[in-house]
Structure 1
Amino acid sequence: MTKDRSSVFLFIDDDAKPLAELKTPIVFDFDTSKLTDGDHVLKIVSKSPAGREGIRKINFTVRNGPSISVEGLSEDDVVDGILPLMINAYDKGNQKSFVIRGSETQQTIPVWMWIIIILIAGWSAYYLITYFSGLPY
């Protein structure tokens, strides 16, 4: 006795031709490397053995290209004069192996981190001076 299974059709954006036509249940490796970077819609159309249809749309964003990091200018900033910018572009590389060298993005140390470091160093200096001088607290 065979079970009738639903079929699913996968569409990308407004394409009339489906990306895939499959029988459920399935596990599908969705290769986004063939899509352009930007916003897309995955439309899944299901058809039951009784002839009924269901549709689900999933919005997603593809970023296959190198990631671009900009420090010194943010969205909607109001600026004047000369801006020092730090720009870095880096790629994921070969996802089957992980290489530490070159995989991080360089960034400056934020001001709040410097303040915390100075406070810890000042407290440590005060503690050491009072501990070794024998002065009461």
Structure 2
Amino acid sequence: MTKDKSKVFLFIDDEPVPIAELDTPIVFDLDTKKIADGEHVLTIVSQSPSGKEGIKKIQFTVANGPSIKVEGLKNKDLVDGTLSLMINAYDKGNQKSFLINGSETPQTIPFWIWIIIILFIGWAVYYEITSYNIQ
């Protein structure tokens, strides 16, 4: 260990053993595939050559598993009766090639789109009727 460089210790969540002990400056690749999906905290403890310490905490969420999309039920909805749910789960692939099959979740058309379509068709019919009366 050189005495003219600061050291950093990287901790995930409340683990007592650091995942890395590094001399600065350094570029570190954090492999999130080795961490469970969910919310985590990366704690970086620095130690200067003079012995002083600093700390920085960074919250992050790991989502390496398949992405899950649900239509028909939202978080904390108040529901009654039978619900029709559309559920899709798809993987991100290996990040070196794009995975098309199953990567898009089909969605229903929002009601405001239907209103715009109906208004447009109504206007078109009205325009056609009034344009024939003028001639």
**Partner in structure 2 of residue 31 of structure 1:** 31
Q: TM-score with structure 2 length normalisation?
A: 0.85
Aligned to 2:10: 10
Q: Secondary structure in 2 aligned to 1:30?
A: coil
The question of 1:98 aligning with 2:93 is answered: no
Segments of structure 2 that go 5 or more residues without pairing to the other structure are none
Q: Which amino acid aligns with 1:69?
A: K
Q: Over residues 62-81 of structure 1, what are the superposed CA-to-partner deviations in whole Å (9 max), with x where a residue is unaligned?
A: 11111111111111111111
SS in 2 for 1:33: helix
When normalised by structure 1's length, the TM-score is 0.84
For the aligned residue pairs, the C-alpha RMSD in angstroms reads: 2.4
Q: Deviations over 1:20-79 (max 9, x none)?
A: 111222221111111111111100000111111000111111111111111111111111
How many residues are matched?
134
**Identity value in percent:** 68
Classify 1:131/1:7 alpha carbon distance in 2 versus 1 (closer, same or farther; 3 Å): farther
Contact map agreement 2:3 2:49 (CA 8 A) in 1: no
